[in-house]
Amino acid sequence: MGKKRKSSHKIRVQFEKNRQKRVRNQNLTKQSLEDLDQVADMEHGERLSGKGSVNRYRTILTDEDGSQREIDESAVLSGRVLKCIGANHVVVQSDRNHSKPEVFTCTVRRVVRTLSRDSRNPVVAGDHVKFLPVNETEGVIERVEPRDRTLSRGSRREAHVIVSNVDQAVIVASVDEPVLKPGLIDRFLCSTEKGQIRAIICLNKIDLGDRVQLQRLVGQYARLGYPVVMTDAVQGEGIDELRRLLIDKETVFTGQSGVGKSSLLNAIQPGLWRDTGEVSGDTNKGRHTTRVTELIPLEAGGWVVDTPGIRQLELWDVAAEEVEGLFIEFRPHVSHCRFPDCSHTHETQCGVKSAVERGQISRLRYKNFLRIVSLENRHVRNPAFEVDFFDDQLE
């Protein structure tokens, strides 16, 4: 009996609007007969172009669920995207039958960009791709394989996927310069929970803060099961502990601008020579030094991903009703709420609020939850919700 042929499906894909041409107006005669008073105001000439929507669509073959475009597997190579610079993507070949991996600079097939309608970046660092070699150093990305474990944020009503297919994320926060923001840490934790990535919290520049006060924050996250590392990239404190957590893992470093992500990577593996910058003395905010997201191999095994700093993190594809599930300590108490659709904000007999009163849930974490829910409901960001950790007392 012959091998069963893989079923294919045809779909019609509409291309980007900036590629479309204006359609000829076919109703000029009808409009003039219906409203004679406007004939003088109508255009006397018209530039003709195209045949309308017929030229705006293309039929392509996909798999059964329509998520992946079918391509000639025999002509393409498998690869991993190391970094993206504008329209160019650095891809390392990952086919097993090649002993020495080769690096290609690839563009992206237009249909791949079109299929990614709700994403700001159709190809990101960490993606597994199929690409067609053009010569020994260049190629064209024909397909992006399904992503697993992504770190994303919202950007102008689109998904901004920062990195894909990683094992864990190190959320770097500085004790000072820029100021410590637990609210931003909790937003990153929500994003890692959403992307199913293990989170590690790194408090950097500990020489600038009071270690006694910091222990309260460390204890808050440690009780939840999140590993917390206190580091000083300049003096080398905590670097060995952080390095051990990275061995044989694929880890993305993320956080605000100026918190010391690149400095930590330079300390973890001397010789990387990642560019670093100073914090602005006027605003106490970091300046963008790292411009692109890049995968970097570690000598001890594994990969790290250096990312540009983020000043604000808008959660992507998270409704206000979903936020409770991203705060892991809320989960055992949600079932004790009187109302099944309890928002844990104003209702009576709320299991989460009762847990806060009993000290089972941190008051600071609960305040950050309220801020996130409020912002997701209004679809706006309010900088006033970000407060200095030492102005909020952990009770």
Among 56, 40, 129, 54, which residue's Cα sits nearest to residue 93?
Answer: 129
205 is in an annotated binding site: yes
Q: 189 and 325 in contact (C-beta within 8 Å)? A: no
202 is in an annotated binding site: no
Q: 73 and 131 in contact (C-beta within 8 Å)? A: no
354 is in an annotated binding site: no
260 is in an annotated binding site: yes
Spatial neighbors of 327 by CB under 8 A, at least 6 apart, are 186, 190, 365, 369
44 is in an annotated binding site: no
342 is in an annotated binding site: yes
In single-letter form, the type of residue at position 51 comes to: K
Q: What does DSSP assign to residue 31?
A: H
Structure tokens at 147: 């992503």
Structure tokens at 28: 């000029």
Residue 364, classified by CB atoms within 10 Å of its CB into exposed (0-12), middle (13-18) or buried (19+), is: buried
95 is in an annotated binding site: no
Q: 308 and 287 in contact (C-beta within 8 Å)? A: no
344 is in an annotated binding site: yes
Spatial neighbors of 81 by CB under 8 A, at least 6 apart, are 89, 90, 91, 123, 124, 125, 126, 127, 128, 129, 295
Q: What does DSSP assign to residue 180?
A: P
Q: 167 and 246 in contact (C-beta within 8 Å)? A: no
261 is in an annotated binding site: yes
Q: What does DSSP assign to residue 2?
A: P
Q: 111 and 11 in contact (C-beta within 8 Å)? A: no
Q: 258 and 279 in contact (C-beta within 8 Å)? A: yes
207 is in an annotated binding site: yes
- DSSP notation for 332-374: HHHTT-SSTT--SSS-SS-HHHHHHHTTSS-HHHHHHHHHHHH
Structure tokens at 227: 């590993």
181 is in an annotated binding site: no
CB atoms within 10 A of CB 121: 18
Per-state percent for the chain, helix, strand, coil, to nearest 5: 30, 25, 45
337 is in an annotated binding site: yes
- The binding site consists of 204-207, 255-263, 337, 342, 344, 350
- The binding site for Zn(2+) consists of 337, 342, 344, 350
- The binding site for GTP consists of 204-207, 255-263
